[in-house]
Every structure is written in structure tokens, then in C-alpha cells.
Structure 1
Amino acid sequence: MHWRLGNMLNAQYHFLEIQRKKQPIMVTYNNRFFHGERPLFGQKHATIIGTAFGKGESPLKKCRHIKLNQSTFQCKYPLWFSQHIAVSNTIFETMARSGIWYTVDIAISDSAIQAPKTFRRNQDIRLKNVHFSDASESLWNCDHISLDHVQASGNYFGMNSTNIVADYLDLIGD
């Protein structure tokens, strides 16, 4: 009887260990400063809070399952080729131009986008309480866009984009 119980416990331990390894490990970056080229390239399953991304390029290129809150981007190409991104209370400054391209499943809320040419060839974009101070050439060739209480100022906003639902969109430009 002891032998079987020992084997069962051993098997159960190995099963739980395998299951634990399947769970993604969540990384948290809190009140950090990153600069230079691709500091968090390919990062997966991360929460980023109160973090500034200074001069450089592509800090979060090819990332997945990222939550950003109260952060600032001063760099070019912040989120390219990324998936499953949630952004809140964040500022994309003027230098963050060409900021979010080729990204799938991104939600941005309560944030300011000061840079032009944000969003190109993206899918599944949800924006809520977002202010674009320079929306020139933004949201080009995107699909499945939800805009809720969005203010945008700039020309050629949303060119060639499809499946757009807008509630309370205030657009200045063409």
C-alpha cells in the first residue's frame, strides 16, 4: 500500500510541476526608465507601471500580453508587431511618431497621443477617452476599430480603414 501511495504522490507532484511551467510568469516593471534600442524587445506577460521610455527606438517591439499604466513614451516606434496590449493613463509624446504599427488587439484608455502617424496596419483597436493632439495620418489601413469618446485633430485620419464604430468622436481635420 505504501508503495502505491508514494508513486501516486510522486506522479501528482510531477503533474503539478508540469502545469506550473505552462503558466506564464508575469514580470512587473515599476517606476523604471528605459532608453536606447529595443530595451524590452520580445517581452511577454509584463505589467509596466510609471515607466518612462526615453530616446531610442522600438522599446516594445514584438511584445505580447503587455499592460501599460501611467507611462510615457518619448521614443520612436513604441509598439510595433505586438499583440494583446492594454494601455491606460499613458502619454505618447511627439517623438513617439509612427508609434503603433502592425499590432493586433490593442486597447488604450484615458491616454494622450501627441505624435502623428500612430496606428498603421493594425487590427482590433479599442480607444476610450483618448486625445490625439496631432492625429495626422493616423489609423491608416486598420481594421476593426472602436472609438469611444475620442478627440482627434489632424488630416487624413482613418484613411483606408474598415469596420469602424465611433461613439462621441470629435474630429478636426479631414
Structure 2
Amino acid sequence: MNVIKDTFFDGERPCFAAHDTRFEHVKFYPGESAVKHSQNVEAFQCEFLSKYVFWHNENVVVDDCLFTPYGRTAIWYSKNVKVLNTQVDAPKMFRECDNIFVENVKFADAQETGWNCRDIELRNVEAKKGDYFFMNARNATVENLNLQGNYSFQDAKNVVIRNSHLDSKDAFWGSENVTVYDSVIDGEFMGWHSKNLRLVNCTIRGTQALCYCKDLVLENCIMEGTDLSFEYSTVNADIISDVISVKNPAGGRIHAKAIGEIVIDEHCINPGECEITVG
């Protein structure tokens, strides 16, 4: 592998179509598309101040690097990408990528990161300002994600999340086949219009949670500050805490330690089709 080290590049496309190349201690100063259309490239302890760095690439490893706020929109339309031990201060990090592995990475500005990506693995990731984090994701496994940002995993499909904390209003809207284990989801209006959303040993916080869901499952979950929950949802829920209120569920069963108020009004579409028990 060709090694380029202890230097800098700037301007447009300085390393266009590189292949079998390792960059070590290289600074990419302002410019565009520095390593575009490349194959089999590695970056170790590099600093990126240029945007659109790794577009249309295949087989990329980024380790112990820094993407400054100027290094936005860094990895798009690429395949087989590993990002390890890296600080990302720029938004829109991934889009339209296949086979992404991200481990020990901190995103200081994760807005619009991960859109329309497929076959994703995230481990030990911290993401701030993460609005629309991994929207339209397909086939993702997530372990130990600490996310602050709304509308996360919107319209995502086939996602498994474990041991994570999502501070995220409107998480999982329109999602399908999502399972979350041993996690905290803190944010109002979560899960609306989802299909096959399953929450296991989770803590759920926020108003009007889990409405308009189809085939929703809760196992051994805690609900805190959750009022007007489950409206128009079909649900199978075992909740080990109190629930402030439940409103007009469409069908299934809900069992909770206690429910402060059950609202079944003239707008209920299937009166009596949901079994609600406490104790």
C-alpha cells in the first residue's frame, strides 16, 4: 500500500481516484472532494477541513481522525466504510452508503447524519445535535448509542438497538421492524405510525407516546410522564410502572401497574377491542 504522510493538501480533488493508499498525519485544508472516487484507502490521524472528502469510494478505513466543522458532508455514496476512534464536528457525515461500521466515535453536530444508508453497525457512539439521525436507515444494529437530537430513525427499517439512551422527540416515526432492548427513550410523540416496534426492558418518557402504531409490543417496560398514550394503536403491552393516561387504543391488550385515566371517547374506532388491566 502506498503511504502518504506528514504533509497537507488543499483545493479541489487533490487525491482524486487514489487507490491502495494510506494517509498518515495528513491535513486536508479547505477545498472539495479530496479523495473522491477512490478505492482501498486508509486515513490515520488525519485532519479534514475540506468538504465532500470521501464520495463514491469503496473500502475506506478512517481511524483516530478529526473532521472539523468545515469537513461537512464527508462520506456519501460509498461502500464498505469503517470509522473508528474519531471526532466528527461536522454535520451530514454519511448518506447513501452501504456497509458502514462506526465504533468509538463522537459526533458534535450529527444533524442529518446517516440518511438512506444500508447495512449499518454503530458501537459506542455519542451524537449531539442529531436531528434526523439515520433517517431511512435499513438493516442497522446499534450498541451503546447516546443520542441527543429529534426525529431519529424516522422511516427506518430492520433496526436493533441495545443499551442506548435516545433523547429524541418523534423517535421511530414511520419505522418498521425496530426492536429496542435495555434502553431509555426520552422524548414526546415517540413511535407514531410505526409497524412492528418492539420495546424490551425500556424506559419510555414523554407525552403522547406510541400512537397510531401497528403491532406494537412492550415487554417489561417503564413509562414515565406518559399521558394520552396508545391512541389508535394495536398493542401488546406489559408495563411495570404507572401510566398517567391511555387514550382510545385500537386493539390488543395493555397491562400496567396502574393507569391514572383511561379515555375512551366518541372518537374511539374500536371500542372494547383493547383489553386494559392493572395491578
> What is the TM-score normalised by the length of structure 1?
0.84
Whether 1:149 and 2:91 are equivalent positions in the alignment is no
Secondary structure, in 3 states, of the residue corresponding to 2:94? coil
Deviation readout 1:86-110 (Å, 9 max, x if unpaired):
1100011111111110000000110
Q: Alpha-carbon deviation of 1:67?
A: 1.1
The match for 1:58 is: 33
Equivalence for 1:169: 145
**What amino acid does structure 1 have at the position aligned with 2:125?**
V
Aligned to 1:115, what secondary structure does the other structure show? coil
Of the three residues 102, 111, 116, the one matched with 2:91 is 116
Hey, what does 2:135 align to over in structure 1? 159
Superposed CA RMSD: 0.6
Q: 1:114, 1:63 → 2: CA distance?
A: 23
Identity %: 35
The aligned counterpart of 1:98 is 73
Q: Which structure carries more relative contact order (alpha carbon 8 Å, separation 6+)? A: 1
Amino acid paired to 1:52: K
Return the letter of the residue paired with 2:140: I
Higher relative helix content: 1
Aligned to 2:62: 87
Amino acid corresponding to residue 159 of structure 1 in structure 2: M
Partner of 1:126: 101
Aligned-partner SS, 2:119: strand
The superposition leaves residues 98-156 of structure 1 with CA deviations (integer Å, 9 ceiling, x where unpaired) of: 11100000001100111111101000000000000000000000001100000011211
- Distance between the aligned counterparts of 1:112 and 1:124, measured in 2? 20
Greater CA radius of gyration, 1 or 2? 2
Counting matched residue pairs gives 149
2:146 maps to amino acid: D
Q: Displacement, 1:27? A: 1.1
Greater share of strand residues, 1 or 2?
2
Paired amino acid for 1:164:
A
Runs of 4+ in 1 over 2 A off after TM superposition: none
* Deviation per residue, 1:9-62 (Å, 9 max, x gap): xxxxxxxxxxxxxxxxx2110111000100000000001100000010000000
Matches within 5 A, 1:37-56: 37-56=12-31
Q: TM-score, normalised by structure 2?
A: 0.53
